A = this chain, B = another copy of it.
Amino acid sequence: MSDDGAGGRKPRADVVRNRAIILQTAQQHFQLHGVGTSLEAVAKDAGVGPATLYRHFPTREALLAGVLQLRSEELLVRQSQIAAVADADEALKQWMRALEDYFSTYSGLPEPLMVAAREREPGNPLTLPCEELIRTTEHYLTEAQRAGQVEDWVKGYDLFLAANSMAWIKSTGAGDETSLPGLRKMIENGYRRP
């Protein structure tokens, strides 16, 4: 499960400290300047050389995946809240909002997630979290379909794309307070059984 070190027993103290400070700093920079922020600035702000950052996280996606892992707990909290919802259609709706919020955590996050969702190759570190999100979406979707509240032709992947698109619209700044609900209404009316 550990993605650092060469399989040895005891990871050196400075290594785990560096990894932690890099992740923490990256999280702040992503929050402030979006996922396209300068990695050089992250390294400098974390007090490490650029090569150290690259050793820990070979690609920007790897760093992003590491940061997102810190945020995954919040999603579990949302899921436990949704578990208390009796109506399957309402549960699906709330999960869609949770997805949308999750995708909106950092500016520019939707794009790499979309790319990772396409290429199912394990080379991309974002593929795994994406697949998990799609699986969860399929779960809520199936429940709603079993209750006869959602059309049978709807797929979990479609809803994943839809939620991601909503976050992207928010990310670009388009989509004011009136247009976003309008879009949501269109999507919801589109998949719900009349």
Contacts and interface: CB of A to CB of B under 8 A. Distances in A.
Nearest to A175: B161
Nearest to A189: B190
A39 interface: no
A69 interface: no
Interface residues of A, number: 32
Interface stretch (A3-11, A20-28, A77-85, A177-185): A177-185
A98 interface: no
Interface of A: 111, 114-115, 117-119, 153-155, 157-158, 161-162, 165, 168-169, 172-175, 178-179, 182-183, 185-191, 194
Question: Which 4 pairs of residues, A with B, have the shortest CB-CB distance?
Answer: A186-B190, A190-B190, A114-B172, A189-B190
